[in-house]
Amino acid sequence: MASTNYSPHEIEREVQAYWKREGVPEKIVKFDARRKKFYLLDGPPYVNGIPHVGHIKTTTFKDVWGKFRQMQGFSVWWQPGFDCGGLPIENAVEKKLGIEGKKDIVEKIGAERFIDECKKLAKGNEHVWMELYRKIAAWRGWLQPYLTSDNSYKESGWWTLKNMHENGQLVEGQRPGFWCPSCETVLSGYEATDSYKNVEDPSIFVKFPVKGFDKVKPSTSPSSAKEKSDNDQWHKTFLLVWTTTPWTLPANVAIAAHPSEQYVKAELSDGSRLILAEKRLTALTEMDIGFRVLEKFSGKKLEGLKYEPVLDVPLQLDINRTEKGHRVILSMPVMKARVASKTSVKKSTELFDEFGHIVDMETGSGLVHIAPGHGDADNRIGKLCGLAEPSPVDDKGCLTEGAGRFAGRFVKKADREIMEYIESRGLMLNAGRITHSYPLCWRCKSPLIYRMSRQWFVKIDNIRDVMQKENKAIRWLPEFAQERMAALLAESPDWAVTRQRFWGIPLPVWKCGRCASVAVVGSLAELGKLSAKKLPDSIEIDKVSMDKVRLKCRKCGGEMSRDPDIMTVWFDSGIAPWASLGYPQRNKDLFEKLWPVDLIDESQDQIRGWFYSLLLTSVANFSRSSYETCCLNGWTLDEKGEKMSKSLGNVVWAEDAYRELGADLLRLYCCADVAPWDTQNFSLARAKDMGRSLNVFWNTFVFMQSYGDKKAALPKGRSSQMKVEDRWIMSRINTLIGNVTRQMEAFEFHAASRALVDFMLNDFSRMYIKIIRDRVSPWYEGRDKAAAQAAMNYVMDRLLRLMAPFTPFIAENVHSGLFGSSVHLTEWPKADRKLIDAKLEERMTATSQAV
């Protein structure tokens, strides 16, 4: 007999013991290739992270999907996974060892020890997650996880890269991109998109002298009366340029003007003359600078006008001597974005390109400083104009020798010195400050810079159309996610997949020091054949081990050394559909049975992250998407609607929430509180309010144990003993089955779980049980007693099966207690249309509302 008090954790202990005794989880997670498959791919969380309630929600959603499909007869692939590489691990190890940056790693620790420490951390924390999975009855907790740090996983990565290289997708190049000076590595654009903060930067208006006039004002005070007289006669025409990045001025190559806008030459009170856009004369007014307009002309007339650099550093002097350097170029429309309209998905219309000039009339002076080595738009227009792409900034974010007197300064610290020098030369019209949104490193949160670097890229343009086509074929839940992915695919540049770090999949590229030939290796077996020396039998695929391997060049016989880069973690997780299986080196039959992934379910920020890398890598290798259905989860915030943060102390940790609520209530609350794709303000108090429904349900179970009959079953034909309330409750449960099934298929877990709670509370417990209480009491001997007991069994059995994906412990405890078997080994119920009486349901609803 069950306890009269509902005790969630006691129920969990009893059920866990029952499962261990009966081997229930093992029966469920064993994959049966003879049945219909459901490949549920786990998006790997960072193994060194501590799970919070946002992770609980995502884990619950995935487990609900899996339990639902398994009860429908599918053999589900439940395997969990963990991301074990990259900056998340490296940053944690640096903190642990009390070091900071690549220099400390190399000089104080050594790469070999550092990688060993990364290995220890990468394989020491998955038990925290696996224990949590088991606590909340997520079936994945009973399986061996895949780890992106395993040799078999990395070999799959090598095969993927070799395949892409042979297809012309993997290329090496020098291009500008986001760079983290702290981590000393490149980042892809989408890695910076969601990490911004408001920062204060310089806002300066600089005067570039137009060539052919007097010399630039000297930076020192005049030493003679004649020199003072020369300075007094100093009147010059300048191009007025606004910038918030003074540190990029050593890399200035051109100034851009808008060809169809009107420009003016304005004379100031000191006799100097400024060229700027007519629409931006307001900038002078805002600076309280008096002027008079001498002439107006089209921006097109400025094309080719030569000017002097504002900095006399070596790089600027070299550019000034070139034919194309330091001239005015005309801005041209460059694609700012490809946009999908709100109706594009429904109407299957194409995206439209949104173009714009890099010179706008809303800010600045209407003249833009162009540094192709330090900006995406600058680089695009620079390539169209055949401009040089200087980038005098090193890996640490410090200016190099080309920046002359500013060399060795960190770029943001160099801002002040550059401004002071420009001021000393009389070329600063105005200097102020501006607060604006600025990109940060997604892991260490340091401000990023934009600089040139050598990387390996996956080319996008020749697979973009296939990616867009596959995006339309994916079932996105909710549908609007397809538009978001379409917009990203339309504007995404070639993907920089290499990183200049230590812990990750080593880039399998070896280069010949003699003839520059390149060899891309696809497996350890292939590496063994190409290696100049025999490889150890148990060699690890890591940076240090692979850097020691030398190959003999097949073309010239020279020695080949490995490119020292590693792969981005987004590549690591993007190959999970096949790398988690060890394909193609092993499990080919299993891969062919499982492929493609049936469903993925992660948070909405993964459109720019994992969802994108999954799509890109699979199209590049298999010419199709690796997943067929993609579900987006909304953010989980604190109860005040603020982002959870350790620094704010408002993180609700998964273990704390589990201890406070128990697994069933925690899962139910995650599903029922808001729509899966909406933002949830997580509240323990609101969750506890929902917990009262489970108390009421437990009381119903206790009642059935006391007054029910486990053997009572419905007669095959309609029994004369069935009363109207019996027919009504059986109609209601079958209507519920149909509704919940449709809601589950549509990822409307909130609607399904709320419907279940409403039914168990109102229809079943508070209405039906109340009506039939006397009919099933021990002293009642009427002929309709058995009918009521049979109806109770019928309804409870189906209700428990519907509840099982959401509240697995109480559903199991009640089902095994009433019917002697595991609810998780039963089938998902199907609605019996013959038992549905819509009119009867309407009458009963009206009656209950009247009462």
Indicate the helix (H) or strand (E) that contains 240: strand 237-243
Q: Which amino acid is at 231?
A: N
CA dihedral (411, 414, 419, 424) positive or negative: negative
Among candidate residues 610, 698, 728, 828, the one labeled active-site is 610
DSSP states along 389-404 = ----B-TTSBB-GGGG
Q: Is 828 considered catalytic here?
A: no
Among candidate residues 500, 606, 680, 743, the one labeled active-site is 606
- Sequence-distant (6+) residues with CB within 8 A of 66 are 38, 40, 76, 78, 139, 140
Question: 668, 669, 662: which is closest to 683 by C-alpha?
Answer: 669
Rounded CA gap, 688 and 683, in Å? 9
Among candidate residues 8, 25, 44, 676, the one labeled active-site is 44
The token duo for 127 is 């038990």
303, 317 Cβ separation under 8 angstroms: no
Q: Where are the beta strands (DSSP E) in 461-607?
A: 475-477, 495-496, 498-499, 509-512, 518-520, 551-552, 559-562, 566-567, 597-603
Q: Where are the alpha helices (DSSP H) in 23-150?
A: 24-29, 53-71, 87-97, 101-104, 111-122, 126-135
Among candidate residues 456, 570, 578, 698, the one labeled active-site is 570
The token duo for 318 is 């070299």
Rounded CA gap, 135 and 112, in Å? 37
Among candidate residues 342, 346, 347, 646, the one labeled active-site is 646
811, 823 Cβ separation under 8 angstroms: yes
Q: Is 309 considered catalytic here?
A: no
Q: Is 247 considered catalytic here?
A: no
Among candidate residues 643, 710, 770, 830, the one labeled active-site is 643
What is the end-to-end Cα distance of the chain in Å, rounded? 34
Q: Is 158 considered catalytic here?
A: no
CA dihedral (676, 132, 505, 582) positive or negative: negative
42, 62 Cβ separation under 8 angstroms: yes
Q: Is 570 considered catalytic here?
A: yes
Q: Is 610 considered catalytic here?
A: yes
Among candidate residues 45, 57, 77, 83, the one labeled active-site is 83
Rounded CA gap, 306 and 328, in Å? 7
Q: Is 78 considered catalytic here?
A: no
The token duo for 282 is 């307001």
181, 449 Cβ separation under 8 angstroms: yes
Residues involved in catalysis = 44, 83, 570, 606, 610, 643, 646
